[in-house]
Amino acid sequence: LSYALRHGASKMALQMNSDGFVFVEELLAHKQFHSFSLEDVERVVVTDLELRAVALDDPDYPREAVHGSYMKHWPSIHSQGISRMNRTHIHLAPALPGDGRVISGMRQSCDRAVWDSIFWSENGVLLTPGDAAGMLPPCYFYRAQRLKTSLKGTKCQVAP
C-alpha cells in the first residue's frame, strides 16, 4: 500500500489526483489489492503512526445515510434488519427530516431513524438492495434515534 501510494501509482495505472490521493474503490479494484477490504485499508490508515496514508472524505459523498421508519416497526428492524419489502431497493436519505438535503428516502412523519454506514455510488444514489433476502442486517447499524415522542397511553396526575 505504501509503495502504491508513494511511488508506484503511475506504474500500477492508479489515477492519482493533484493532491496525491487515490480513490479507495480504484485501489481495491486493482489486482494487487482485490483481496483486501475497505476495513483493511482503514485499519492501515488508522494505525500508521508515520501518517504515510491518510483518509480524505469527499464532502459530496458522505459516509453515512439514514433510514426513516416508525416505532411500531422497531422491534423487527432491531432484531432482523430493514427490509426492502416489495420494493427493489431499501431507501435511504442523507439526513433527518427537515434538513434541506432530504429529497427522498425519509418521510416527514417518521418517528424513528436508523443510521447506516455506507459508500455512495458515483452518481450519489442512496439505494441498497440489501442482502440476498432483501434485508439490511442490524450489524450495519451504528445508531438509532427516536425522532418524535408520544404521550398516547401515558398517565399523568395533575396536582389539585
CATH of the domain at 104: 3.20.170.30
CA triple 86-90-91, angle to 5 deg: 120
Residue 85 shares a structural domain with residue 130: yes
> What pTM value is reported for the model?
0.50
Range list of H helices, the chain: 2-3, 24-29, 38-47, 74-80
* Strand runs labelled E in 29-153: 64-69, 82-83, 90-91, 112-117, 127-128, 135-136, 141-146
Residue 41 shares a structural domain with residue 6: yes
- Residue 160 has, within 13 A of its CA and on its CB side, a CA count of 0
Residue 77 shares a structural domain with residue 119: yes
Q: What per-residue confidence (pLDDT) applies to 137?
A: 87
Mean pLDDT of 70-75: 92
In 10 A of CB 94, how many CB atoms?
19
Q: Are 90 and 126 in contact (CB under 8 A)?
A: no
Q: What per-residue confidence (pLDDT) applies to 77?
A: 93
17 compared with 114, residue with greater pLDDT: 17
| 156 domain residue, yes or no | no
Q: Is 19 exposed, middle or buried (0-12, 13-18, 19+ CB in 10 A)?
A: exposed
Lowest mean pLDDT among 4-8, 24-28, 151-155: 151-155
At 116 the three-state DSSP class reads: strand
Query: Considering its fold, how many domains does the chain have in total?
Result: 2
Residue 32 shares a structural domain with residue 69: no
Does the structure show a pLDDT above 80 at 160? no
| 75 domain residue, yes or no | yes
| 155 domain residue, yes or no | no
Residue 82 shares a structural domain with residue 30: no
| 70 domain residue, yes or no | yes
Residue 129 shares a structural domain with residue 70: yes
Residue 40 shares a structural domain with residue 73: no
Mean pLDDT of 46-56: 72
Percent of the chain with pLDDT over 70: 71
CA distances from 58 to 23, 93, 100 (A): 10, 17, 19
Residue 77 shares a structural domain with residue 137: yes
List the domain range (segments joined by +) for residue 100: 64-146
Does the structure show a pLDDT above 80 at 22? yes
| 82 domain residue, yes or no | yes
| 14 domain residue, yes or no | yes
Helices (H) and strands (E) in the chain, counts: 4, 7
Please report where in the chains the cell 458515483 appears, as a residue: 122
